[in-house]
Amino acid sequence: MKEEKTKQIKKRIKEEIKNTISSIKEYKLLTKPITPENAIGRVSRMDAINNKSVIEAALRKAEEKLKQLEFIKTQVDNDDFGICIKCYKEIPIARILIVPHSRYCVNCA
Ligand SMILES: [Zn+2]
């Protein structure tokens, strides 16, 4: 049973890493500097700049998540994997599969 779970979690982490990497690539493309020639009126330029900071924030978040996922990937085989690092209760597998990079249970997150 435990092995089956571990396999499922590993698969999920792998998927999530793949998705996160492709998001990062996308965000990086979108945060390329805004050149004057593809601008647009003053208002849409402001829009573009606003969007840029939103995307940059998303990019930083995705990079952080990727780091956490890479770390978690190395932890899955440990006996204490799946234990909340705050309250030491077991994290339900359903939660692990939704947010595999989290090391907290729902209550402590
Ligand atoms: Zn907890």
5-41 residue pLDDT tens = 999 999 999 999 999 999 999 999 988 776 665 556 6
Q: Are 103 and 72 in contact (CB under 8 A)?
A: yes
Cα(103) to centroid(ligand 1), Å? 8
- Mean model confidence pLDDT for the chain: 90
Distance of CA 39 to the CA centre of its chain: 32
Cα(83) to centroid(ligand 1), Å? 8
**pLDDT above 90 covers what percent of the chain?**
72
Cα(13) to centroid(ligand 1), Å? 20
Examine the pLDDT at 72 and tell me if it is beyond 80.
yes
Torsion of CA 81, 19, 25, 103, to 10 degrees: -20
**Which pLDDT belongs to residue 32?**
79
HSE (side-chain half, CA atoms, 13 Å) at 82: 17
Cα(20) to centroid(ligand 1), Å? 25
Cα(77) to centroid(ligand 1), Å? 20
| Total-model pTM | 0.81
Cα(71) to centroid(ligand 1), Å? 19
Torsion of CA 37, 42, 47, 49, to 10 degrees: 60
